[in-house]
Structure 1
Amino acid sequence: MNTKLAALLAALALAATAHVAAAGETHEHGHGAGEVQKLRLDAGRKWATDAPLRQAMDEINRALAEALPLIHRNRFDDAHYRALAATVNSQVAFAVDNCHLEPKADAMLHLVIADLVAGAGTMQGAAASRRTMGPRRWRRRCRLTASISSTPAGRPQGLSSATRRRNPRATGGRPQPAPG
């Protein structure tokens, strides 16, 4: 699975399940240094949400739902990825600017926000990598990256023998003999 799609799916999954907000008077952004946190429920229940957070998450969900069909058909170009990343970043900024959460809910929201911002960064960075590699090499790299690991000798693993015969470049330029 290519990294852009993985980032989008992760962001969509988090945005769809993480409506985290609770009415509160304070909004602290200082969390203990070195604390490792993971997303969790509020005593077995979803966290309460407020209108600004729901609005931001709904907009991110809408944008991703519109993008996914094009992404799956490889019709989502660099401009689309940059626009989607900008939408995610602006909605995250809106949610952060308008939220009033208790510290525990805020901590959970920060975990979600970190993943959303990382996904947006991946979309922006992937667009830059794609431009320098060219679209054909980029698609090939995305397909092969998930299934190929290199041995110490640098020979790709995980490719079928038919793929190695058809595509010598997948084996480092060395044609493979037909089984015989």
Structure 2
Amino acid sequence: MKPILLSLSAAMLALPLMVQAAGPAHHHHDHGAGAPQSIQLNAGKKWATDDALRQGMEAIRTLMENALPAAHAGKLTAAGYDALANDIDSRIAYIVGSCKLDPKADAQLHIVIGELAGGVDTIKGKQPGQARAMGVVNVSQTLNTYGKYFNHPGWRAIKLPH
């Protein structure tokens, strides 16, 4: 990803625009109208990753693997959810600021980042009617999707309780 000189809040506000579908001839940050793009493989193969992306995603995966049992058991406190959301936000900021992928892989990663940000909003309690624990599940599911579409040697899917 190209370095972005925005605060994390500004970056999160921009994410819905970045995941909109662009025509094939458009640059990957086109902000034109269109339906949200769905993630896809690179001509049947997983997308390339770089060290920054792998480090950031491994860190988020570890956070989820540690938080999932407590969230599932209803034992994660409000302060615990807040700390978890802040930790994930900092890892997302690291990925956005440090990752350098080719434009097509970058566009696919923006879809994953947008899904992660949505899960973080749920963890923060910003999704009316959704339990904060569902954010932990959503982020975990997004990480499993990442592993299916990005070439991350040694990646392990997160086992979800149900």
Gaps of 5+ in 1: 1-27, 131-137, 143-180
CA pair 91-54 structure 1, distance change in 2 beyond 3 A = same
Partner of 1:124: 124
Separation in 2, partners of 1:78, 1:86: 12
Q: Aligned AA for 1:95?
A: I
**Per-residue CA distance 1:97-142 (angstroms, 9 max, x = gap):** 0111221111111100011111111111259989xxxxxxx89xx9
Deviation (angstroms), 1:94? 0.2
In structure 2, the partner of 1:66 is 66
For residue 87 of structure 1, report the CA deviation from its aligned partner.
Answer: 1.2
Q: Name the amino acid aligned to 1:33.
A: G
Q: Residues 41 and 102 from structure 1, CA distance in 2 versus in 1: closer, same or farther, beyond 3 angstroms?
A: same
Cα-Cα RMSD: 2.7
Match of 2:101 in 1: 101
State the SS of the aligned residue for 1:108. Answer: helix
TM-score for both structures, normalised by structure 2: 0.58
Decide which structure has the larger Cα Rg and report it.
1
Identity %, equivalent residues: 41
Q: How far apart in 1 are the matches of 2:71 and 2:121? A: 17
Which residue of the partner structure matches residue 75 of structure 2?
75
Per the normalisation by structure 1, the TM-score is 0.53
Q: What is residue 32 of structure 2 aligned with on the other side?
A: 33
Contact 2:121 2:127 in 1 (8 A): no
Contact map agreement 1:82 1:123 (CA 8 A) in 2: yes
2:98 pairs with 1:88: no
Instruction: Name the SS of the counterpart of 1:125 in structure 2.
Output: coil
Q: Tell whether the 8 Å contact from 2:81 to 2:124 is kept in structure 1 after alignment.
A: yes
1:1-180 paired onto structure 2 within 5 Å = 30-36=29-35, 37-125=37-125
Q: Contact between 1:78 and 1:127, CA under 8 Å: does it hold in 2?
A: no
Q: Distance in 2 between matches of 1:112 and 1:85?
A: 16
- Superimposed CA distance per residue, residues 66-105 of structure 1 (whole angstroms, 9 cap, x where no aligned partner): 0011111110011111111111111110001011122111
